[in-house]
Amino acid sequence: MSGNEARPASGTGHAFEFHDGAPVLTTRRLLKATHGTALWPHLSGSSDITGTLNTRTGRAGADDNDSLNGDGSFGFSDNVTLLREENAAQRNYGAPIWSLEYYAQFFNIETHVVRRRLVTALWPFGARMLDTLNSNPDLYGTEPSRHFDEGPIWISTTLVFAMAMAGNFSSYLASETAWQYDFEMVTFGATSVYGYVLVVPLLLWAALRWLIGNGRIAFTELVCLYGYSLSIFIPVALLSIFQVEWFRWLAVIIALFFSGGALLTNIWPLLRTHPHRISYGICAAMLLSHATLAIVFKLFFFEYNAAVGSSGNTPAPAPSHTPVPSPSP
């Protein structure tokens, strides 16, 4: 399999060539690239990359910790298979754009990356997510920041259902009369969460690209940032089942501090080089929309508490001591 192979016709096969000696070099890069990829999609049905590896150049990945373990020896044909799978990871994967395999190349997020993104999206101090996303290509092989991460999808979905469940449960606990669940919590939650996670990053991306001139940040990275930063509202929703008003607001404010702060410290480095007025305006709009979201969630899902004596979704007489106006017959 040595020798030159011509670049095949575009749209089919693999868009790389390899010459004498190149397989070895690329394999070494591949080993560093696939370090830790437990979720690599086995599209070609060929050998398992995360198994033991040894190349002609010697023991591989000895200094790379994590998942490359031990030694075994694969023949040269396995190097080719590994190369093919490495190439499958590159953006110019041969599959046509309408096939599922084309999109599988983006779905190779790893657990430790997810963990790191969660931390950087929720903790305003320390590492930045967009730094994480743009991390050293050598470590990951191909720009992991560009890789789609289905984390925001699952976090948003979990948030929708957690808020709907917690909101219904808390309205049940707060109800005095016959209670019926409110399905609108699911629909409103879904619309607002998915809308927020898609629309606000879109506006931010447009502002960054055309108002600031920073075209390097991808839309998907911002969606990733916003998706992970929303994850803090899941425990807030569950905690808000407690029928104590000030506790709920305290939880919301703390969540806002962390997620909003993390958003700010992630975006601010991108704005630093630009005239201040617009930068401050973008930051203010970002924080304002985030705060609005949190407050709307609190008011919609956790409108009632046992002290106020909720209606349980049906009109009920209000207790005399309540300062909050509630529908009363």
Partner 1 sequence: MEDVDIAPIATSAAAVVQLDEEAESTLDEPISVTLKRDLLMVFEKFFMVLIPRLNNKRILHDWDLWGPLILCVTLAMMLRDTARDDQKSLVFSGVFVIVWCGAAVVTLNSKLLGGTLSFFQSVCVLGYCLLPLVAGTLIIRTLALMSLASVPVRSVVVLLGLAWALFAYVTFGCIYV
Q: Footprint of partner 1 on this chain (CB under 8 A)?
A: 39-43, 100, 103-104, 106-107, 150, 153, 157, 172, 179-184, 186-187, 313
Helix (H, G, I), strand (E, B) or coil at 77: helix
User: Which position has the token pair 């259902």?
Assistant: 161
Judged by beta carbon, residue 103 or residue 247, the one nearer partner 1 is 103
Instruction: Name, in order, each residue with C-beta under 8 angstroms of 265's C-beta and a sequence gap of 6 or more.
Output: 124, 125, 128
Please, what is the minimum distance in Å from the beta carbon of residue 56 to partner 1?
28
Among residues 166, 168, 174, 167, the alpha carbon closest in space to that of 319 is found at 174
Please, what is the minimum distance in Å from the beta carbon of residue 41 to partner 1?
4
Distances (CA, A) of 242 to 160, 171, 183, 223: 19, 11, 21, 31
- Contacts of range 209-213, beta carbons closer than 8 Å, 24 or more positions apart: 211/274, 211/278, 211/282, 212/270, 212/271, 212/274, 212/278, 212/279, 212/282, 213/274
Please, what is the minimum distance in Å from the beta carbon of residue 31 to partner 1?
20
Judged by beta carbon, residue 74 or residue 106, the one nearer partner 1 is 106
Judged by beta carbon, residue 7 or residue 42, the one nearer partner 1 is 42
Measured from the Cβ of residue 64, the count of other Cβ atoms closer than 10 Å reads: 14
Please, what is the minimum distance in Å from the beta carbon of residue 87 to partner 1?
17
Please, what is the minimum distance in Å from the beta carbon of residue 318 to partner 1?
21
Judged by beta carbon, residue 195 or residue 281, the one nearer partner 1 is 195
Judged by beta carbon, residue 104 or residue 114, the one nearer partner 1 is 104
Contact 152, 226 (CB under 8 A): yes
Half-sphere exposure (Cβ direction) of 276: Cα atoms closer than 13 Å: 0
Judged by beta carbon, residue 107 or residue 247, the one nearer partner 1 is 107
Please, what is the minimum distance in Å from the beta carbon of residue 201 to partner 1?
20
Let me know how many helices (H) and strands (E) the chain has, helices first: 12, 2
Among residues 158, 161, 152, the alpha carbon closest in space to that of 196 is found at 152
Distance CA 31, CA 305 (A): 56
Please, what is the minimum distance in Å from the beta carbon of residue 184 to partner 1?
7
Judged by beta carbon, residue 4 or residue 187, the one nearer partner 1 is 187
